[in-house]
A and B are shown apart, each in its own frame.
Chain A
Amino acid sequence: NAGVTQTPKFRVLKTGQSMTLLCAQDMNHEYMYWYRQDPGMGLRLIHYSVGEGTTAKGEVPDGYNVSRLKKQNFLLGLESAAPSQTSVYFCASSYGGEDPTDTQYFGPGTRLTVL
């Protein structure tokens, strides 16, 4: 049982390049999330999904797109990378539902640098 996995772990991009970050979970969770973490800012929600085929914007969605074609996968795309997108990206998943204490399980993170 791998939990939540993310690929790649590290990536360096040049301004204007595109890339896709892959998140996979094997816990049969309905909900999945993408966050970015910057020094002094805490984790900020980029996009989230409440089920296969659905996505929604979070707090900082600009410059990112997502897709959830399969329940276990949640992809984060950067169409034209900018230095401001240099960050650590975390994917998370949770069971979902109405339980307000629903725990989020995080992947190990992707460290992205945009030059």
Chain B
Amino acid sequence: RKEVEQDPGPFNVPEGATVAFNCTYSNSASQSFFWYRQDCRKEPKLLMSVYSSGNEDGRFTAQLNRASQYISLLIRDSKLSDSATYLCVVLRTGGFKTIFGAGTRLFVKA
């Protein structure tokens, strides 16, 4: 079993839709959590960190459930430009144990 698991998708949604991705992690020593975005044939870029209290950045909302060991990303009012792969990233305690999920692909259609 992978330490960080994501639904690979793809998720195909129309513009304006709300879409949610989940990510589960298996190591309870995980300390920090992030969502990265990766466009086709490009490098990953940080989308947002995920805090225990949940956090929002414009149309994006990230939530963490430590008890159930999952992280979620909600995208509201989807835009064509949101089409990308979203990577769930977990940092374990002890440093340098950054684990990337395989990613969830999102296609937003006009």
A45 on the B face (CB < 8 A): yes
Which residues of the other chain, B, contact A44 by a CB distance below 8 angstroms? 100
Q: Say yes or no: A107 contacts B102, CB within 8 Å.
A: no
- Contacts A108-B43, A109-B43 given; indicate if A43 touches B49 (C-beta within 8 A): no
Which residues of the other chain, A, contact B96 by a CB distance below 8 angstroms? 45, 48, 50, 56, 58
Tell me which of A42, A48, A103, A108 contacts B4 (CB under 8 A): A42
B74 on the A face (CB < 8 A): no
- Interface size range on B against A: 20 to 34
Q: Is the interface of B mostly helix, strand, loop or mixed?
A: strand
Q: Say yes or no: B43 contacts A42, CB within 8 Å.
A: no
B1 on the A face (CB < 8 A): no
Of chain A, the residue at the smallest CB distance from B2 is: A42
B98 on the A face (CB < 8 A): yes
Q: Say yes or no: B8 contacts A40, CB within 8 Å.
A: yes
Give chain B nearest CB distance to A46 CB in angstroms: 12
- Contacts A40-B8, A42-B4, A101-B32 given; indicate if A90 touches B102 (C-beta within 8 A): no
B20 on the A face (CB < 8 A): no
Q: Say yes or no: A101 contacts B49, CB within 8 Å.
A: yes
Give chain A nearest CB distance to B27 CB in angstroms: 13
Which residues of the other chain, B, contact A50 by a CB distance below 8 angstroms? 96
Q: Say yes or no: B46 contacts A108, CB within 8 Å.
A: no
Alpha-carbon distance A107/B41, docked complex (angstroms): 12
Q: Say yes or no: A104 contacts B98, CB within 8 Å.
A: yes
13 new A-B contacts, CB < 8 A, other than A48-B96, A108-B42, are A33-B98, A40-B8, A40-B102, A42-B100, A42-B101, A43-B44, A44-B100, A45-B98, A58-B96, A90-B43, A101-B34, A106-B43, A109-B41
List 24 A–B pairs whose Cβ atoms lie within 8 Å, in order of A's numbering.
A33-B98, A40-B8, A42-B4, A42-B87, A42-B99, A42-B100, A42-B103, A43-B87, A43-B100, A45-B96, A48-B96, A50-B96, A90-B43, A100-B31, A100-B32, A104-B98, A106-B43, A106-B44, A107-B43, A108-B42, A108-B43, A109-B41, A109-B42, A109-B43
Interface of B with A (CB < 8 Å)?
2, 4, 8, 31-32, 34, 41-46, 49, 87, 91, 96, 98-103
